[in-house]
A and B are shown apart, each in its own frame.
Chain A
Amino acid sequence: MDTRPHQIPDGKPVQEPELIRRSKSGSREAFGQLVGRYQVPVYRVVRGMLGNPSESEDVAQEVFLKAYANLAKFRGESGFFTWLYRIAVNEALRARKRRTFANADALPEVEAPPPVPSEEDAPTLATLEKLLRKLSDEFRSIVVLRDIEGLSYTEIAETLEIPIGTVESRLFRARQELRALWRQSKEAKNAL
């Protein structure tokens, strides 16, 4: 758990557990500090899962509202950020399902802009988003948490509530599939 001190309006630096305690007892300021700390990583997780910037902001907002409403249920058995990431992954998956069930024709997935030629051979961000979208939900979430957010296997296991062995094997298969998709994409580009 992160124990870096945060500044709260009363002027004293506050550790994260204290911010959580204050938030639980109804301090909006304390929760605001937690939001400030985690809004970018939460957005990134959701963005990696959804691939749509504006929808990702809406879902990130929902993540924090859900966290705020359910703060009393957070018992501190896992890290606060893994608890928050779990909500983020679940909300992003829910948003994807909503989008699919609502009307796939009326609200198509936002097509990534054409890749801008890069100086390197690395995939552009638009290509990366496109490749991530082709992965299954399970594979996408694990790649986002590990390769973009840099969570450890233990943290991923906590976040996704799966055993560490499953994290290792799933990550291996997810990277294999992503690499295969990347090769296909490169070959298609070279064929043009």
Chain B
Amino acid sequence: MHCDDAARALYAGEILPDVELHLSACDECRHLSDDLTQMNRAFARARTEWVPSPRFRVLLPLAPWRRLAIAASLLVLPLAGWAVASVWPSRPNYDVTAVLEPSALAEPSDRELLGTLFLEETR
């Protein structure tokens, strides 16, 4: 067997009796065979050790109806809030003192107080 044929068989992963015979007599091809065996060991290790980390999770996008539901809820919440706020019984927010006459706000004078007392006594 010629070295080229042996190399072709070795690279293709074919271990034929002819190749075995050739390897026993050819140092060059034996080196090639050894190198390929070593590389195959490294590939085997990669097969078992190249794994994603335990935290790896494939996250799928939300289904269209779920996206619609989320969008709808985002729209509905502020609308509901606005609706509740608009029907809530509102307190008067005007200032009572503003509608009273200024004299009503002023403290009664001594004369007025005396007048009031006098009126009550005469009743």
Q: How large is the interface on B (under 10, 10 to 19, 20 to 34, 35 or more residues)?
A: 20 to 34
Cβ of B20 under 8 Å from chain A = no
Cβ of A90 under 8 Å from chain B = no
B51→A182 contact, CB < 8 A: no
A43→B59 contact, CB < 8 A: no
Q: Which residues of A contact B51 (CB under 8 A)?
A: 40, 43-44
A148→B43 contact, CB < 8 A: yes
Cβ of A26 under 8 Å from chain B = yes
What mask results when residues 37 to 49 of chain A are scored 1 for a CB within 8 Å of chain B, else 0? Answer: 0011001100110
Cβ of B46 under 8 Å from chain A = yes
Separation of A32 and B61 alpha carbons in the complex (Å): 12
B11→A147 contact, CB < 8 A: no
What mask results when residues 69 to 106 of chain A are scored 1 for a CB within 8 Å of chain B, else 0? Answer: 00000000000000000000000000000000000000
Closest residue to A69 on the B side, CB-wise?
B61
Binds B, one of A10-18, A118-126, A134-142, A157-165: A118-126
Cβ of B60 under 8 Å from chain A = yes
A168→B12 contact, CB < 8 A: yes
Interface residue tally for chain A (C-beta within 8 Å): 40
Which of B39, B50, B53 is A48 in contact with, Cβ under 8 Å? B50
Q: Which residues of B contact A44 (CB under 8 A)?
A: 46-47, 50-51
Separation of A168 and B8 alpha carbons in the complex (Å): 11
Closest residue to A149 on the B side, CB-wise?
B47
Closest residue to A26 on the B side, CB-wise?
B63
A53→B49 contact, CB < 8 A: no
Cβ of B71 under 8 Å from chain A = no
Binds A, one of B30-38, B74-82, B103-111, B115-123: B30-38
Q: Shortest CB–CB separation between residue B45 and chain A, in angstroms?
A: 6
Report 21 cross-chain contacts, Cβ distance below 8 Å, ordered by A residue. Answer: A28-B63, A31-B60, A32-B60, A35-B58, A60-B56, A60-B58, A123-B38, A125-B45, A127-B42, A128-B42, A147-B40, A147-B43, A148-B47, A150-B47, A168-B12, A171-B12, A172-B11, A175-B36, A178-B39, A179-B35, A182-B38
